[in-house]
Chain A
Amino acid sequence: MTVSRRRFILQSAEAAGVAALGLNLPLLGAPVSQNAEGLSWQKAPCRFCGTGCGALVGIQEGRVVAVQGDRECPVNRGLLCAKGYHLGAALYGKDRLKTPLIRKGGSLQEASWEEAINLIAEKVIADPDRFSIYGSGQWTIPEGYIAMKFLKGGLGNNHLDPNARLCMASAVTGFLTTFGVDEPSGCYDDLDLCEVVITWGNNWAEMHPVLFSRLIDRRARGEEILYIDLGTRRTRSTEAADHYLEFRPHTDLAIANCIAHQLVENGTCDRNFLDQNVRFKSNDDKDISLEEYRSFLQGYSVEKVSKLSGVPADQLRLLGDLFGDPKKKIVSLWCMGMNQHTRGTWINNLVYNAHLLAGKIGKPGSTPFSLTGQPSACGTCREVGTLAHALPGGRVNASDGDRAEVEEVWGCKPGAINPKPGHHTMAMFEALSKGELTGMWVQVTNPAQSIPNLHANLANAADRFVVVSDIYPTETTRIASVVLPSATWVEKNGIFGNSERRTQQWFRMVEPPGQARPDVWQVLAVAHRMYEMGCEDLKGRDGKFLLTVRDDSGNEVEAWKWEVFREFNVDRALFNEYRALTVKKHKDLAPYDEYVKVSGMRWPVVKQSDGSWKETKRRFVGGEDPYVKEGRQVDFYGARAGDSRAIIWARPYEDPPESPDSEYPFWLCTGRVLEHWHTATMTGRIKELRKAMPNTYVEIHAEDAERLGVKTGDRVRVRSRRGSIETVAWIGGRGKPQVGLVFIPFFDEKRLINRVTLDEYDPISKEPDYKKCAVALEKLS
């Protein structure tokens, strides 16, 4: 492998050199190797989940023909999952959108780019304050960045939010409230070093399969690992677990407090760690003492929590003892189970509490670790900050200083950025329905399938001016006024940021089909058209086009022109501009060209005295993170109080907003399956994946099924207070829910389970709870 590696770096450096001159990269930028069959290979991260596996993409005759795991990528070491291997086929579905479409007389009709761009520019100019952008954790970093600059720096409104609101908003607010800054301290390497893994409502065998096998393959090598799965349903992950702790939905709040209770009562907290690194706060944000915290915990004794949660007392004690053992190295993992929760922020805080009390954070092999679902939920939504209240690099709209700094880098007129946060996702769709927003541009996501309680939240959306940029027809393009055909993955340049703070870059390798074009270009073209039409909002402080792209010598590049865009690496220019905004909160990124050479680096990435750039494996850890104060083992330097202390919050258990009753006697939990990505816009067009999992189903516990007289294969109606779907029953199948709970995956556009789900959300993170609502089941003949 050394040979090809050397070649790769050499050629990458050449490519970077070309880029440095401000020239375009050759279409096949940095081939790893090229053989007699005309096949070449280049690196790109996987397009699907937040694991961020490095892939090698095989290109032949201008088409993707194969995808392999990159052995050089430390995330996956040569492996991918079934979605990753089949990713190439996601580009070649027969119904790819290849030309812009405009709704005329009720139907979508083919139009030119010119016509589409003019129409969008006119509509936005007519009502800029009520135009919104709904983006995605699948936005590349430059895509999110340019969309935000256009809306927040240009139009001066903040109605910009990503679908990541539905997926990791609670993780963000969890980090912010506990540590003062977003994103994890630990990294995937901790999976190689831990002795105990605890998953909190997380089926990583299907959702983050490469990380799951990174752990269980250690067992195959003879290592001893204790794996504890906390869940409401048995999954493929549970099969690998030594202990399965089945809890009643929502009682995870009490279970986490029960661990804290045991640590405090048994005297097994890490007192040294607490003295130096932690403060205690009441739920209403008042400083409290350890004694006061202890009395708060009295309600969470093993006996009480066992009764509430249904988890046997000895299993709760097992958790308490493991955390209380100073020698045990523990990793906690979670994703949607904790985030899609009406108390998502609290449960994130509570799991941090357990790790903080036990001092199990900031040590190799011991860390709480929040997984992300989307490939750049971290890189784009959280780091660029494409949220209704946020600005790049951990800044917020509400801060005068933050706004001024961003206006400076963006070259906006002073005061251009509005201090008032925009609508978060759920409020945005409500405002669109009511007409308080008149327009929305949807990019890289499919809300008409993924928003909860669809019927209520998408009402009237089709009457507004909705622009949808996507690669295939979806439920959302059905309600669109304008559909723009996008380029995807290796049809464009891109940069993603994964769950472990790793930023990964790739080059365009093939041409997009037909007239499809990258979203970055689409935004530039619309913005420039508005500028040409005289729109003051799109003028910077120098009176020039606000979104001007410049080459390394500072010359303007007419990137809004497609022929220019294609020949110039706009990603590189935008990324290098954005970099300047990442330093304030210690999320430092290296220059673009550094990422060309490697399979990603974890921030903060800091320049060394010899001129090289060094990544940080573990944040807040002495000897690893350059921002930790000299002599400290751990330094939570993001703490808002400036005291380097993380906060242990006294968050109580609270009942869920809707629970089963006599009319709707079952819990409904929704989720994903290994084969499909989100709403299956891509994976549903891949033969191997679609054949393996053609449609959704409802998992029912065998006892419930018997009572209802339902067998596998029977048709069943699942009904809530909001809506119903019909689907087919599966008993004892892939997952086995607890008695009284049913599970339905949400990928199937023919059976929209989000007609049924609840739209209650966490009041702090505004993330809805897709995991719990009450439904009735009815067997259909």
Chain B
Amino acid sequence: MSRLIAGRWVLFRCLVTLLLVSLAAAAPEVSDRTERRAFYTAPPTVPHELDGLENGDCLTCHEDVLDLGDQVSAPTPHPEYFNCLQCHVGTAPLPIAETTPDVASDWKGLAEPTLIERANPKAPPSIPHRLFLRDRCLSCHHPDHPNPAQRTSHPERSNCQQCHVADQEREF
């Protein structure tokens, strides 16, 4: 959307966005991936309020890593998709959330893979998920990622799929 509006307006919205997000101080540290995903590869839920922000605003913070000191934004692996709120739901806007939902469920989502396949013990690990919506590898594998298991040790090498193969049959 920012494409459509003047630069000053963009700057203003950035400031408003930052303000809103920092007001939504509830945003916790990224510690537990699974807490924010109903199953492995589910679209993560957003740990702050979304209403009041506009659709295009998401990329202000999530196009690339944005380090605010106490908070680090998660960059999107698919900036070409514009309608973020289609898949990512937020946290209930606090003033209107009257009830603390008690959701009693037996749902057990697909677990994170524990075993990463390699052709041989020294081979580069293969990619355990489909690449659709996730082909911008550094978004989730940048060297500062909060989850050490996801960090790449060699961010300077940009052609990831030269060595890491994706199982084309994967549906997730």
Residues A688 and B45 in contact in the complex (CB < 8 Å), given A82-B87, A217-B82, A730-B93: yes
Question: B89 touching A68 by the CB < 8 A rule?
Answer: no
Please report the C-alpha to C-alpha distance between residue A155 and residue B149 in the assembled complex, in whole angstroms: 65
Q: Which residues of B contact A641 (CB under 8 A)?
A: none
In the complex, what's the smallest C-beta–C-beta distance from A563 to chain B, in angstroms?
26
Please report the C-alpha to C-alpha distance between residue A71 and residue B105 in the assembled complex, in whole angstroms: 29
Q: Which residues of A contact B159 (CB under 8 A)?
A: none
Name B88's contact: one of A82, A212, A217, A242 (CB within 8 Å): A82
Please report the C-alpha to C-alpha distance between residue A738 and residue B80 in the assembled complex, in whole angstroms: 33
**1/0 per position for A1-18, CB-CB distance to B under 8 A?**
101100100000000000
Name A713's contact: one of B38, B89, B95 (CB within 8 Å): B95
Interface with B: A352-360, A600-608, A692-700, which one? A692-700
Question: A212 touching B105 by the CB < 8 A rule?
Answer: no
Question: A60 touching B96 by the CB < 8 A rule?
Answer: no
| CB of B99 closer than 8 Å to a CB of A | yes
Please report the C-alpha to C-alpha distance between residue A734 and residue B1 in the assembled complex, in whole angstroms: 17
Q: Which residues of B contact A95 (CB under 8 A)?
A: 104
Q: Which residues of B contact A82 (CB under 8 A)?
A: 43, 86-89
Residues A66 and B52 in contact in the complex (CB < 8 Å), given A78-B133, A209-B86, A692-B91: no
Name the residue of chain A whose CB is nearest to the CB of B113.
A37
Name B39's contact: one of A88, A93, A684 (CB within 8 Å): A88
Q: Which residues of A contact B109 (CB under 8 A)?
A: 65-66, 88-89
| CB of B119 closer than 8 Å to a CB of A | no
Please report the C-alpha to C-alpha distance between residue A744 and residue B52 in the assembled complex, in whole angstroms: 17
In the complex, what's the smallest C-beta–C-beta distance from B106 to chain A, in angstroms?
4
Residues A217 and B81 in contact in the complex (CB < 8 Å), given A89-B38, A688-B45: yes
| CB of B157 closer than 8 Å to a CB of A | no
Question: B98 touching A33 by the CB < 8 A rule?
Answer: no
| CB of B168 closer than 8 Å to a CB of A | yes
Q: Which residues of B contact A209 (CB under 8 A)?
A: 83, 85-86
Please report the C-alpha to C-alpha distance between residue A409 and residue B106 in the assembled complex, in whole angstroms: 44
Question: A66 touching B110 by the CB < 8 A rule?
Answer: yes
Q: Which residues of A contact B99 (CB under 8 A)?
A: 694-695, 750
Residues A66 and B39 in contact in the complex (CB < 8 Å), given A691-B101, A693-B92, A697-B96: yes
Q: Which residues of A contact B130 (CB under 8 A)?
A: 68
| CB of B12 closer than 8 Å to a CB of A | no
Query: Quick one: which of A1, A81, A86 has the most chain B CB within 10 A?
Result: A86
Question: B39 touching A213 by the CB < 8 A rule?
Answer: no
Q: Which residues of B contact A88 (CB under 8 A)?
A: 38-39, 107, 109
Question: A92 touching B85 by the CB < 8 A rule?
Answer: no
Please report the C-alpha to C-alpha distance between residue A86 and residue B109 in the assembled complex, in whole angstroms: 10
Question: A730 touching B110 by the CB < 8 A rule?
Answer: no
Query: Quick one: which of A1, A36, A79, A732 has the most chain B CB within 10 A?
Result: A79
In the complex, what's the smallest C-beta–C-beta distance from B119 to chain A, in angstroms?
15
Question: A219 touching B82 by the CB < 8 A rule?
Answer: yes
| CB of B55 closer than 8 Å to a CB of A | yes
Name the residue of chain A whose CB is nearest to the CB of B133.
A78
In the complex, what's the smallest C-beta–C-beta distance from A720 to chain B, in angstroms?
22
Chain B residues 45 to 70 lying within 8 A of chain A, measured CB to CB, are: 45, 51-52, 54-56
Query: Quick one: which of A35, A81, A85, A733 has the most chain B CB within 10 A?
Result: A85
Question: B95 touching A213 by the CB < 8 A rule?
Answer: no
Question: B85 touching A236 by the CB < 8 A rule?
Answer: yes
Name the residue of chain A whose CB is nearest to the CB of B86.
A209
Please report the C-alpha to C-alpha distance between residue A688 and residue B87 in the assembled complex, in whole angstroms: 11
Q: Which residues of A contact B108 (CB under 8 A)?
A: 63, 65, 92
Name the residue of chain A whose CB is nearest to the CB of B87.
A82
| CB of A334 closer than 8 Å to a CB of B | no
| CB of A635 closer than 8 Å to a CB of B | no
| CB of B169 closer than 8 Å to a CB of A | yes
Q: Chain B: interface residue count, which band?
A: 35 or more
Please report the C-alpha to C-alpha distance between residue A93 and residue B55 in the assembled complex, in whole angstroms: 31
Please report the C-alpha to C-alpha distance between residue A89 and residue B167 in the assembled complex, in whole angstroms: 27
| CB of A239 closer than 8 Å to a CB of B | yes
Please report the C-alpha to C-alpha distance between residue A94 and residue B104 in the assembled complex, in whole angstroms: 5
Question: B107 touching A694 by the CB < 8 A rule?
Answer: no
Question: A216 touching B82 by the CB < 8 A rule?
Answer: yes
| CB of B100 closer than 8 Å to a CB of A | yes
Q: Which residues of A contact B92 (CB under 8 A)?
A: 691-694
Question: A688 touching B82 by the CB < 8 A rule?
Answer: no
Q: Which residues of A contact B51 (CB under 8 A)?
A: 733-734
| CB of A687 closer than 8 Å to a CB of B | yes
Please report the C-alpha to C-alpha distance between residue A216 and residue B55 in the assembled complex, in whole angstroms: 11
Question: B170 touching A33 by the CB < 8 A rule?
Answer: yes
Q: Which residues of B contact A212 (CB under 8 A)?
A: 83, 86
Q: Which residues of B contact A33 (CB under 8 A)?
A: 169-171
Please report the C-alpha to C-alpha distance between residue A733 and residue B50 in the assembled complex, in whole angstroms: 10
Please report the C-alpha to C-alpha distance between residue A86 and residue B103 in the assembled complex, in whole angstroms: 14
Please report the C-alpha to C-alpha distance between residue A713 and residue B96 in the assembled complex, in whole angstroms: 5
**1/0 per position for A37-60, CB-CB distance to B under 8 A?**
101010000000000000010101
Question: B103 touching A690 by the CB < 8 A rule?
Answer: yes
**1/0 per position for B91-135, CB-CB distance to A under 8 A?**
111011111110111111110010100000000000000101100
Name the residue of chain A whose CB is nearest to the CB of B44.
A688
Q: Which residues of A contact B172 (CB under 8 A)?
A: 39, 41, 58, 66, 68
| CB of A220 closer than 8 Å to a CB of B | yes
Q: Which residues of B contact A239 (CB under 8 A)?
A: 1, 54-56
Q: Which residues of B contact A65 (CB under 8 A)?
A: 39, 108-110
| CB of A205 closer than 8 Å to a CB of B | yes
In the complex, what's the smallest C-beta–C-beta distance from A753 to chain B, in angstroms?
15
Q: Which residues of B contact A89 (CB under 8 A)?
A: 38, 105, 107, 109
| CB of B154 closer than 8 Å to a CB of A | no
Question: B91 touching A691 by the CB < 8 A rule?
Answer: yes
In the complex, what's the smallest C-beta–C-beta distance from B96 to chain A, in angstroms?
5
**1/0 per position for A675-689, CB-CB distance to B under 8 A?**
100000000111111
| CB of A240 closer than 8 Å to a CB of B | yes
Question: A81 touching B1 by the CB < 8 A rule?
Answer: no
Please report the C-alpha to C-alpha distance between residue A37 and residue B54 in the assembled complex, in whole angstroms: 40
Please report the C-alpha to C-alpha distance between residue A685 and residue B39 in the assembled complex, in whole angstroms: 16
| CB of B41 closer than 8 Å to a CB of A | yes
Question: A94 touching B171 by the CB < 8 A rule?
Answer: no
Q: Which residues of A contact B98 (CB under 8 A)?
A: 694-695, 728
| CB of B8 closer than 8 Å to a CB of A | no
Please report the C-alpha to C-alpha distance between residue A340 and residue B92 in the assembled complex, in whole angstroms: 28
| CB of B90 closer than 8 Å to a CB of A | yes
In the complex, what's the smallest C-beta–C-beta distance from A35 to chain B, in angstroms?
8
Q: Which residues of A contact B107 (CB under 8 A)?
A: 88-89, 91-92, 686-687
**1/0 per position for A177-221, CB-CB distance to B under 8 A?**
000000000000000000000000000010001101100110111
In the complex, what's the smallest C-beta–C-beta distance from A92 to chain B, in angstroms?
4
Query: Quick one: which of B45, B98, B106, B130 has the most chain A CB within 10 A?
Result: B98
Question: A674 touching B89 by the CB < 8 A rule?
Answer: yes
Question: A71 touching B1 by the CB < 8 A rule?
Answer: no
Q: Which residues of A contact B167 (CB under 8 A)?
A: 35
Please report the C-alpha to C-alpha distance between residue A694 and residue B104 in the assembled complex, in whole angstroms: 14
Question: B106 touching A692 by the CB < 8 A rule?
Answer: no
Name the residue of chain B whose CB is nearest to the CB of A712.
B95
A residues near B, CB below 8 A?
A: 1, 3-4, 7, 32-33, 35-37, 39, 41, 56, 58, 60, 63, 65-68, 71, 78-82, 85-86, 88-89, 91-95, 205, 209-210, 212-213, 216-217, 219-221, 236, 239-240, 242, 674-675, 684-695, 697, 712-713, 728-730, 732-734, 750
The 8 lowest CB-CB distance pairs between A and B, nearest first, are A713-B95, A213-B83, A692-B89, A94-B104, A89-B107, A209-B86, A65-B110, A66-B110
13 contacts between A and B (CB under 8 A): A33-B169, A66-B41, A68-B172, A82-B87, A85-B42, A92-B108, A93-B104, A94-B104, A687-B103, A694-B100, A728-B95, A728-B96, A734-B51
B residues near A, CB below 8 A?
A: 1, 3-4, 38-43, 45, 51-52, 54-56, 80-83, 85-93, 95-101, 103-110, 113, 115, 130, 132-133, 167-172
9 further A-B contacts with Cβ under 8 Å, apart from A37-B113, A94-B104, A693-B89, are A4-B168, A65-B39, A93-B106, A94-B106, A685-B104, A692-B89, A694-B98, A695-B98, A733-B96
